[in-house]
Amino acid sequence: MTQLNTPYPSTAYLTGFLRAHNVDAVQDDLALALVLALFTPGGLVQVRDRALALPEEERSASVNYFLDFFSRYHGTIAPTIAFLQGQDSTLSHRIAGRGFLPEGPRFVALDAYEDDGSGDPLAWAFGALGQQDRARHLATLYLNDLADVLRDAVDARFEFVRYAESLAGSQATFEPLAQALAAPDTLVDEVLQSLTLAAVAKHQPQLVLLSVPFPGAVYAALRIAQTIKRHHPNVRIAMGGGFVNTELRELTDPRLFDFVDFITLDAGERPLLALLEHLHGKRSAQRLVRTFIRNDDHQVRLMNWAEPDVPFEDVGTPTWDGLPLNRYLSLLDMLNPMHRLWSDGRWNKLTVAHGCYWKKCSFCDVSLDYISRYETASASTLVDRIERIVAETGQTGFHFVDEAAPPKALKALAEELLRRQVHISWWGNIRFEKTFTPELAELLAESGCIAMSGGLEVASDRLLNLMKKGVSVEQVARVTKSFSDAGVLVHAYLMYGFPTQTLQDTVDALEYVRQLFENGCIQSGFFHRFACTVHSPVGKDPEAYGIELVPLPDVSFAKNDIGFVDPTGTDHDTLGLGLKKAIYNFMHGVGLEQDVRSWFALPKGQCPKSTVGRHRISKALGN
């Protein structure tokens, strides 16, 4: 339950690695299969039957609309899915004409878009981009309407990405998940169970690996495990992935092992090699690597035999063999130009380097392996992998999923791509550091770079220093301008609510962001609310950041986010609404001339004037 446009990369990496070690490994994407099974004419009939069983007073507006126009949904779902899979591009004419799809409550959002006078509320967004984009956005709204129906009539936890997320994320105890997994099956559960049994029958596995990257993937993963345990008790099951690595490091609740046999931490290659040796009787349980087990006394134990990790140079080439690449859905949900890259099109996911070369940012999980262990591979190795992936998938789009791709490695990669005349389109995440000169930005663009994202976080030099970002606002302006001038789309990750951030800091930060848009440094951005995690420098040493942590209850399951008390007392919730409204408008060239105070819904006289000069960024750029 991650994204619908492209496979999550962990299974591709592990399948390629295991095959290179002569392990008969196959992969399956049951998250995609679940959605494609539900969003069919037959699936919608089952949803309708559940909706009709609801008392009328319990039916939401989405459910009522679905029932009223069921015949239209039933007749349009198959061609719309095919269109989003790229199988019937000519349907865009009918979808874009607004007469083909039933338009439920999600379409009301279109009324919020500013009409440019043409009578078409989407003209400003898609006038220059064309009919295909318009049609995909409308088709995405249509699917979101149906997802709302599933949530309101079938399973209150259902979402495409964050399915039952609240049951797992930072839950101190396994109890909420245990209760949900013991509850009567919903239609979603039933479909997932049938898909699970079909996959087991097809592949006949002895060991099943479940990759669980986010809290929103945990419930479905455990439903899969529960089904396998019930029908194939001899199959062993191991679970790993980002959620496990960040939230289950202090696991003590043995009930999780009613569903899985092993839980591995951090990079999976070395723990899996050790686990396979154990299952073949060549290694005792005491010599497992970074692996939780439940012992004979029903106690959870972390087995952590000291062995070096597999070097990044040797992890091999990921393979997408076995995944239905032509069945993923190219959605267009958010009109943010950078966010659409996450949901639009199928990207080959690849890592330039393991970990982060900076690993100092105070809000980041710098104590964990996925950040702290920094390793690179040669440019020659990386381009070898790229060529093999293009040959396998037939697709030349790459998303480099590094925490922060190192400039030296990117330079070498670009030069190697150009030397070999390998033509790809790629994008990734970086630190906006001074090493990214105009010359390097030009080189990266020439090698196929189409977009870059990076963390500006709170656009305040005081807070950037406190965060240990190693950049200044003016430096970020120069770097982002270099990429923009090279024709590369630039997205800024922004943050609010950082410890000791004041109202004045927030107003000044928004003024900096306004000027970055005004001067063409960035084209896209998004404000995230700061969350303190137990693995970050802030969580480990809150006094150094002027805050006090809220004590956690006894934790036997998931532990990650932690509350804190900031003595500044700033109302970040109210400010966050203004920040998001402002940046939404800035991205569309609206309101750039306004005083930034106008975006905040504060009583007159309570919002201070920005202390940042109106031309600070322009001067930093030498204009």
Q: What is the DSSP string of 308-335?
A: PPPPGGGS-----TTS-GGG--------
**Closest to 416 measured CA to CA, from 383, 376, 452, 455:** 383
3-class SS of residue 525: strand
Give dist(CA 221, CA 204) in Å, integer: 18
Query: What is the pLDDT at residue 112?
Result: 57
The ranges of the chain with pLDDT < 70 are 111-129, 334-335
Per-residue pLDDT tens over the stretch 542-597 = 999 999 999 988 999 999 999 999 999 899 999 999 999 999 899 888 999 999 99
**Is the separation of the CB atoms in 4 and 140 below 8 Å?**
no
Q: Which ranges in the chain are annotated with CATH 3.40.50?
A: 9-28+165-310
Give dist(CA 124, CA 141) in Å, integer: 18
**CATH architecture of the domain with range 347-620:** Alpha-Beta Barrel (3.20)
Query: What is the pLDDT at residue 235?
Result: 98
Integer CA distances (angstroms), 346 to 225, 341, 524, in order: 28, 9, 21
Which distant-in-sequence residues (6+ apart) come within 8 Å of 355 by Cβ? 369, 370, 371, 372, 373, 374, 375, 403
Q: What DSSP element (H or E) covers 79?
A: helix 70-84
In CATH, the number for domain 9-28+165-310 is 3.40.50
- Which residue's structure tokens are 């349009």? 76
Q: What are phi and psi of 500, to 5 degrees?
A: 70, 5
Q: How many CB atoms within 10 Å of residue 337? A: 16
Per-residue pLDDT tens over the stretch 308-333 = 999 999 999 999 999 999 999 998 87
Give dist(CA 34, CA 435) in Å, integer: 45
Query: What is the pLDDT at residue 115?
Result: 47
Q: Which ranges in the chain are annotated with CATH 3.20.20?
A: 347-620
In this prediction the pTM is 0.92
